[in-house]
Amino acid sequence: MSNDKFLDKPPESAALTEYDRAHATLYMRLLDAAADGADWREVVSIVFEIDPEENPSRAHEIHEAHLARARWMTEHGYRQLLRGASH
C-alpha cells in the first residue's frame, strides 16, 4: 500500500465510513499482525510503507490509530458492513 493512500488517522465516526470500506483489508492485516505479536515497526514498514526510523512518533501514531479503528470494526463496524452487503 502506498503511503499516499491512507490518512494519518482514520476518520472518527460511530458509523462505517468510505475510508473504512476502502481499508478493510488493511485493518485485517493490522489485526492479524497484532494477534501474531508482530513488532509495530515492522508492521508500519510493510503495511504502510513507512520507515519507522525516519519519523518514529508519526509512524507509531499511524499504526495505533489504524489498529484502534480496526478493533472498532470488529466490535461495531462489521455489523454495518454486513448490513450493506445484504442489500
Q: What angle do CA 65, 72, 81 make, to 5 degrees?
A: 120
CA dihedral of residues 66, 67, 68, 72 (deg, nearest 10): 100
pTM for this prediction: 0.85
Taking the C-alpha atoms of residue 53 and residue 74, their distance in angstroms, rounded to an integer, is 30
Taking the C-alpha atoms of residue 13 and residue 48, their distance in angstroms, rounded to an integer, is 22
pLDDT of residue 67: 98
pLDDT of residue 83: 74
pLDDT of residue 54: 96
Tens digits of per-residue pLDDT, 27-72?
Answer: 999 999 999 999 999 999 999 999 999 999 999 999 999 999 999 9
Record the cell numbers describing residue 30, joined without a space. Answer: 493490522
pLDDT of residue 3: 47
How much is the average pLDDT of 10-38?
94
